[in-house]
Structure 1
Amino acid sequence: MRETTGTEVLRTSVQVDGETASYLTAESVETGESGKQDGPAVLLLHGTYWSRVWLPVLGRIAEAGLRPIAVDLPGLGRSGGELTPETATVPALADWVARFASALKISGPLSLAGHDIGGAVAQHLLVHDGLEVSRLALVNSVTYDSWPAPHVARFRGPGADAGTTVDDVLDARREAVTAALCGAATEQRIADYLDPWTDARVRRSWMAMAGAADSRYTLDLVPALRRSATPKLLIWGEEDDFEKVEYAERFASEIPRTTLLRIPDAGHIPTENAPGRIARALVDFFTA
C-alpha cells in the first residue's frame, strides 16, 4: 500500500487483552524502518469509522521522522474482539488505548490525535492519567454536546438493534460515509470505508458504540480542559454537517493553548479532501 515516494503504509498488529489489535503505520522504502521506530510516536484514533480515515496522511507524517500509529479500536476495522455497551464507552475505550500503547512499549510523552468519537477518547486521555500526552490534535471531533449525530443516535436506546437489519446498518453507513467524504467521495473510496461493516461482528461492535455514545463524556471534561496547558490543534472541515465548525470555534475560544485550522470545501473526513495541508499542519504541530 504505497503512500508517497519515500514511504510505504503497512498494517500490522499486537495482542491486547488476548485479541488482535490491528494498526496502520508507515515505513521508509529506502531503509525499511517501520514507521521510523526511533521517532516520536504519534497515536491516531478513529471514531465511528476506522483507521482508514488516517491513511492519506500517514506517509507524510513518517517522512517527517515521526512514528504514526493509526489503531483500529477493538471490534472495529481490522481489529479482533467485539465491543459491548460497557466496553464501548469513552472511558472504557480510553483505558483500552492505554493498554494498546503499553503493548507497543510506547513510553514517555506522546502526540495524540483523534477524529470523531476518537477525539472524545483523546480528550479523556489528556485529562486523565492513562497516557502522558504532550500535544493533542482533534480533527472534526465530537466536543461539548455536539454528539451523537442523528445518523448515530437512531441506533441508540434499549432494543434499538431488535428491528435493525443488515441492510439498515449498511445503508446508514453508506449515507454517512458519502456525506462525510464530501467532494472526495468516489464509489471506490466509499466501498473502502464500508468494507469492515460486511462483517457481522464489526456491525455489532458499531451498534454498541452507537448505543454508548453520550455527550456527557465530553461535557464532563470541559472544566479540566479549561485548566489544561497542553498545546492543542483543531483541524476542521468547514462543510461538516455532523460536527459543526461552530463547536470548534467555541472550543478554540474557551480552551487555552488551542489553535483552529479551518479546511474549506471539506467535510467530516477532511484528511481525504486536503491530505497534504493536513499532514503538514500535523507535522508542524507535533514537531514544534
Structure 2
Amino acid sequence: MGATTGTGVQRTTVQVDGEPVSYLTAGQDGPAVLLLHGTYWSRVWLPVLGRLAEAGLRPIAVDFPGLGYSGGELIPETAAIPALADWVARFVSAMEISGPVAVAGHDIGGAVAQHLLARDRLEVSRLALVNSVTYDSWPAPHVARLLDRAVTADEFLAARREAVATDLAGAATEQRIAGYLAPWTDPRVRRSWLAMASAADSRYTLGLVPALRRSTTPKFLVWGEDDRFEKVAYAEEFAREIPETTLLRIPAATHIRTENAPGRVARALIDFFVA
C-alpha cells in the first residue's frame, strides 16, 4: 500500500514482527540510504527525500514502531537503543536490502545509527549524523520534564507544539506545526513517545566511543549551529576524536535543519553518500 505526497515521495508499509511499518521513500533504484528519526518521526526527512532520489539514491525514512504512522507500540525495553538497532536490522531484512547500506540518523535516531555501526548490527557503508545525540548530550531537559508526572493529552500536545515551533524556527508555519503534531493525537503514539523518552540514556552513546574510535567507516556530521541541546561543541568533539569524520556546520539552523536549510543539507548528504 502506498500514498504519494505530491513531491514524488511515497509513504508505504512493510510488515516487521507482524506489525505494519510505515516509511517514506523516493526513487526506485540506486543505493539505499536508511534515514532514522528520533523524538520526532520520519517527517523530519521529507524536505530532502526528493533531492536524494534525484541524485540517484534510494532514501528510506522509516517510522519506528508505535511512532509516526507505524503500527505497534513501544515500551521502555523495546525503545532502548540496542533494541531499536535490532529492530532496524529486521526492517532492513524485511525490505530485502542486501549488502552494505548507508545510514543517517537525526536526534536519538543518530544513537541508533551509531549502534548499528559500532556493534555490527548492519554492514554500514557510510554514517551521517544530523544534529544527533552523542556522548552525554542527552536526554534533553524538556523531554525529561514530560516524564516527571502524568500529563494529560492536551498538556502533552502543548509541550510538543512548543518544541516543534522552536526546533523549526524560521521554517515554522501553522500548517507545518500541525503536520508534525498529527501522529501524537493518537494515544498509542503518545505512549510510544513517552517510552522512547523514558529509555533515553547517554550510556548507550558513551559506551560506543571505544568501538567508534576503531572504526574506519566514513562518517559525516551535519550540524545546525543554533541547536538548543545537541550543541555544535559535541559535534566538534566527535570530529576530533572519531576517525574518518568530517563536520559541516550550518549557521542559523536549529534542531530540524532539514526544514531550515533543506537544499544545503540535501546537497551535503548527496556529496557524502555518492562519493
Into which bin does the TM-score normalised by the smaller protein fall?
A: over 0.9
Aligned to 1:36: 28
CA distance in 1, matches of 2:6, 2:55: 17
Local SS of the residue matching 1:171: helix
Letter in 2 for 1:212: A
- 1:65 maps to 56
Aligned position for 1:16: 16
Tell me by how many angstroms 1:104 deviates.
0.4
Q: Quick one: which amino acid aligns to residue 164 of structure 2?
A: V
Q: Is the 8 A contact 1:240 1:266 kept in 2?
A: yes
- Tell whether 2:239 aligns with 1:245: no
After TM superposition, give the deviation of residue 88 of structure 1 in Å. Answer: 0.4
Give the CA RMSD over aligned residues: 0.9
Q: Deviations over 1:21-79 (max 9, x none)?
A: 100001xxxxxxxx223x11000000000000000000010011111000000000000
Aligned with 2:123 (options 120, 132, 141): 132
- TM-score scaled by structure 1? 0.92
* Alignment correspondent of 2:186: 199
**Cα deviation per residue 1:76-103 (whole Å; 9 max; x = unaligned)?**
0000000001100000000000000000
Deviations 1:235-257 (A, max 9, x none): 01111002111111111111111
CA–CA distance in structure 2, aligned partners of residues 175 and 88 of structure 1: 24
Distance 2:170 2:220 in 1: 24
The answer for unaligned runs of 5 or more in structure 1 is 27-34
How many Å separate the matches in 1 of 2:144 and 2:217?
A: 32
Structure 1 residue 153 displacement after superposition: 1.2
Letter in 2 for 1:25: T
Q: Give the number of aligned pairs.
A: 271
Whole-Å separation in 2 of the counterparts to 1:214 and 1:169: 21
One-letter identity of the residue aligned with 1:36? Q
Structure 1 residue ranges (4+ consecutive) displaced by more than 4 angstroms after TM superposition = none
Shift of 1:179: 1.0
Query: When the two structures are superposed, what TM-score results if normalisation uses the length of structure 2?
Result: 0.97
**Displacement of 1:212 after TM fit?**
0.3
Match of 2:108 among 113, 117, 120: 117
Say whether the 8 Å CA contact 1:45–1:115 is kept in structure 2.
yes
Q: Taking every aligned residue pair, what percent have the same amino acid on both sides?
A: 78
Unaligned 5+ runs, structure 2: none
1:168-200 alpha-carbon deviations (Å, 9 max, x no partner): 211111111111112111111111111110000
Distance 1:65 1:187 in 2: 33
